Structure 1
Amino acid sequence: MFFRSLTAIAIASTCVLSLSNCARTAQASELSTESCIEKCHQKVTHALRQLSDSTGECDYSMAPRNIAPGDSIWHQRPVTAEEWCSGFWPGVLWLDYEASGDEEVARHADRYTRSIGEIVKAPVFDHDLGFLVLYSYGNGYRLTKNPEYREIMLNAADSLATLFNPKAGTICSWPRNEKMLGGHNTIMDNMINLELLFWAAKNGGDRRLYDIAVSHADTTMRYNFRPDGTSYHVAVYDKNTGNFIKACTHQGYADNSMWARGQAWAIYGYTMVYRETHDKKYLDFAQKVTDVYLKNLPADKIPYWDFNDPTIPECSRDASAACVVASALLELENYVDEANASIYDTAAKEMLTELSSERYWSASSPAFLLHSTGHRPAASEIDYSIVYADYYYYEALNRLKNNQSEI
């Protein structure tokens, strides 16, 4: 994610016209990375004005989550352990501070980040503690080296590790859903949270955190994938014996379908695991899960929410999955041979060009992007702007900038 790849691989009505110009530029396939980053900065500062009171302060106990089609302001949710997206908004702010150097944005990023600190003090709720802390405190520590952030992250890693079941070999994603799913469950999303454990093991935490992350990656590789590299969303294990019970879906179309964002988590996750371990089996696997995703994409490189939805092309797209993959590819290309690096680099730029076009770029709201799908089986956040899409889009742009490349 950010700890290695961004450093070593390394908007109100007055803004609408310039944002539209960015979209038209994207259509011409001559998109400037710097221009798009500047447009993101304009949107961030516009959103902060919308969210601030007369004194310039925001309600930091609430975090932007989504914008419904046609709306023009972020819908916010309370910052709690149950709200897994709370860390993405401070993450967006930290990425914007990195790109712009705007100290006022950094001040807000710090305040939103600190609002998550109380969650770490409580017993861990589920695997999403990694999402909550990595993007807020993680980016904050990477950019400021604030020792308070470091301590929070180390404590969060220890808390996350309490969900590890050594018999199953994985972290339980949803303890509250063990009865519903039939046992100790591990979802593909959980791959992203392993980075917190890897980071902690290198920064003063217990070495066992590294071992837990490796065990989880290995077990997930074995049970959450089909032979062709497509992923199951959920793997379920007997809580007491650790025996594998079944693989299924919770957010995808069907148990045997390839849910787009699930596959995106796999691509991003195993790329990160390779970076942290230098074990070639993870690099080979990252390429395998990437190649099957790229092979099945529509021509414009933005996936439908599930690759096997029988209503394609009438069903919704998922820009968030495209953003996750684009960012991952801009890291993965640095680890592979020249031929594959060229394939991944081209694919990432095609994704970002389409995402930055008027078809996906949101010219009339404070969000960057349109057309993400949250949880389609639950009829939740379908064709919305969603904060994690914006996070990974900005991360991808920053990675491209640090690669000294243009879309």
Structure 2
Amino acid sequence: MWKSALEDAVKKTRNNITRFGELFPHVSLHGKYDLNDNDDWTNGFWSGLLWLCYEYSHDTVFKDKAEQTVAGLRNRLNNNIVLDHHDIGFLYSLSSKAQWIIEKNKEARELSLLAADKLLNRFHEKGQYLQAWGPKGDQKEGGRIIIDCLLNLPLLYWASEQTGDPTYRHIAIVQADKSRRYLVRGDDSSYHTFFFNQETGEPIGGATHQGFTNGSTWTRGQAWGVYGFALSYHYTKNPAYLDTAKRMGKYFIEHLPEDYVSYWDFNAPVDENTHRDSSATAITVCGLLEIISHLEEKDPDKQFFLEAVHKMMNSLVENYSTINKEDAEGLLEHGSYHVRGNLAPDDYMIWGDYFYLEALMRLEINHKGYWYE
């Protein structure tokens, strides 16, 4: 099943190179991707998708297009085009850092390190956190962290390994620790965001931006936690991160509906119109596979997670993928971007496509994505 799904994904991505041209897919409406200039937080996922297809197929059409996206992201960094956010890790881990991992291209390594510097500059010394959104110190957004940031931290960990400078690693650990303390609740669910006093660092409270309510658990946020803490464990070997990833993973699995693909929020009322978020399930599968790679054979959680992975992926492929829709632009249907904001609440998401393909690559050929070398 994984091989057939991979072949289908590669074929569709090859077709999309011509369809998308110089633009970047973001989310879709009625089955057609909304195409953006190189100015959104999601552009790196298209680059990562291309690199995965190249590594699987060895077809240079993917390599050439991926390198083109890296050149565009180099121009974006050089000209500081819409980079007032922490998603610099999403943009450059899956583009230039991926190119470095695959080709050992020195210019790609240099660009990735410059991106890590850009992310590092978002650290608030007084508050001791990486600011999520907006210009540093912004009155409205300056005190906010969000759980998504955990997937941006691998760029900092990697930069520390590459340069020998412990600063990158230190800041990543500070952010991971703060996220673990304030974003993860006592029952292993999670807040999407948390606010701090910018001057004193005093905690103010948890909230949501895209979830159902402040006290609910937005499923994609939970997914970022599962994968993000597992990746922090990979880099640090701090057992607290692995334990947190496991607990958040169990919460995710135990709150899934019968078909093992999550709704958009675990606390949203469920009826025939409630939106799914297939992208959250795809992210969580990657996170669970990362967790599994760190567990000993005798660990009772290993089989539990492995069985859940296969149930989730079987459902994604059989019920949510476009494997039988030859002309489809996306790979995974029924993702949700921002349900309460009525932004593409039930269609393709480019990050959903990326993590779906990464999960397939992990299962079929033991590929690890581009979060570490």
Relative to the length of structure 2, the TM-score reads 0.93
Question: In structure 2, what is the equivalent of residue 19 of structure 1?
Answer: none
List 4+ stretches of structure 1 deviating above 4 A.
Answer: none
1:157 positional shift: 0.5
Q: Does 1:93 align with 2:53?
A: no
Question: In structure 2, what is the equivalent of residue 204 of structure 1?
Answer: 163
Question: In structure 2, what is the equivalent of residue 361 of structure 1?
Answer: 322
Question: In structure 2, what is the equivalent of residue 275 of structure 1?
Answer: 234
SS at match of 2:187: coil
Question: Where do residues 3-402 of structure 1 align in structure 2 (5 Å cutoff)?
Answer: 31=1, 33-51=2-20, 58-59=21-22, 62-69=23-30, 71=31, 73-80=32-39, 83-123=40-80, 124-176=83-135, 178-180=138-140, 183-204=142-163, 206-312=165-271, 314-338=273-297, 339-361=300-322, 363=325, 364-402=327-365
SS at match of 1:74: strand
Question: In structure 1, what is the equivalent of residue 371 of structure 2?
Answer: none
Q: Given that residues 201 and 207 in structure 1 are in contact (C-alpha distance below 8 angstroms), is that contact kept between their aligned partners in structure 2?
A: yes
SS at match of 1:246: strand
- Could you list the runs of 5+ residues in structure 1 that have no partner in the other structure? 1-30, 52-57
**Count of paired positions:** 360
Distance 1:275 1:312 in 2: 39
Q: Which amino acid aligns with 1:399?
A: R
1:126 positional shift: 1.0
* Sequence identity percentage: 31
Distance 1:145 1:384 in 2: 36
SS at match of 1:67: strand
1:333 positional shift: 0.6
What's the CA shift string for 1:128-151, capped at 9, x where partnerless? Answer: 111111111122211111111000
Residues 359, 156 of structure 1: CA spacing in aligned structure 2 closer, same or farther, 3 A cutoff? closer
1:261 positional shift: 0.1
1:238 positional shift: 0.7
Residues 335, 78 of structure 1: CA spacing in aligned structure 2 closer, same or farther, 3 A cutoff? same
SS at match of 1:115: helix
Distance 1:346 1:327 in 2: 14
1:122 positional shift: 4.2
1:166 positional shift: 2.7
Residues 301, 361 of structure 1: CA spacing in aligned structure 2 closer, same or farther, 3 A cutoff? same
Q: Given that residues 278 and 320 in structure 2 are in contact (C-alpha distance below 8 angstroms), is that contact kept between their aligned partners in structure 1?
A: no
Distance 1:322 1:397 in 2: 13
Q: Which amino acid aligns with 1:38?
A: E
What's the CA shift string for 1:332-357, capped at 9, x where partnerless? Answer: 11112432111111211211111111
Distance 2:239 2:272 in 1: 37
1:167 positional shift: 2.8
Distance 2:335 2:164 in 1: 36
Q: Given that residues 174 and 185 in structure 1 are in contact (C-alpha distance below 8 angstroms), is that contact kept between their aligned partners in structure 2?
A: yes
Deviates more, 1:263-272 or 1:349-358: 349-358
Distance 1:319 1:153 in 2: 29
What's the CA shift string for 1:73-98, capped at 9, x where partnerless? Answer: 43210102xx1011111110000001
Of the two structures, which has the highest relative contact order with CA contacts closer than 8 Å and spacing of 6 or more? 1
1:35 positional shift: 1.7
Residues 370, 273 of structure 1: CA spacing in aligned structure 2 closer, same or farther, 3 A cutoff? same
SS at match of 2:332: coil
Residues 252, 178 of structure 1: CA spacing in aligned structure 2 closer, same or farther, 3 A cutoff? farther
Question: In structure 2, what is the equivalent of residue 8 of structure 1?
Answer: none
Q: Which amino acid aligns with 2:171?
A: I
SS at match of 1:381: coil
Q: Which amino acid aligns with 1:167?
A: K
Q: Given that residues 322 and 328 in structure 2 are in contact (C-alpha distance below 8 angstroms), is that contact kept between their aligned partners in structure 1?
A: no
SS at match of 1:245: strand
- Could you list the runs of 5+ residues in structure 2 that have no partner in the other structure? 368-373
SS at match of 1:380: coil
Q: Given that residues 79 and 115 in structure 1 are in contact (C-alpha distance below 8 angstroms), is that contact kept between their aligned partners in structure 2?
A: yes
Residues 327, 148 of structure 1: CA spacing in aligned structure 2 closer, same or farther, 3 A cutoff? same
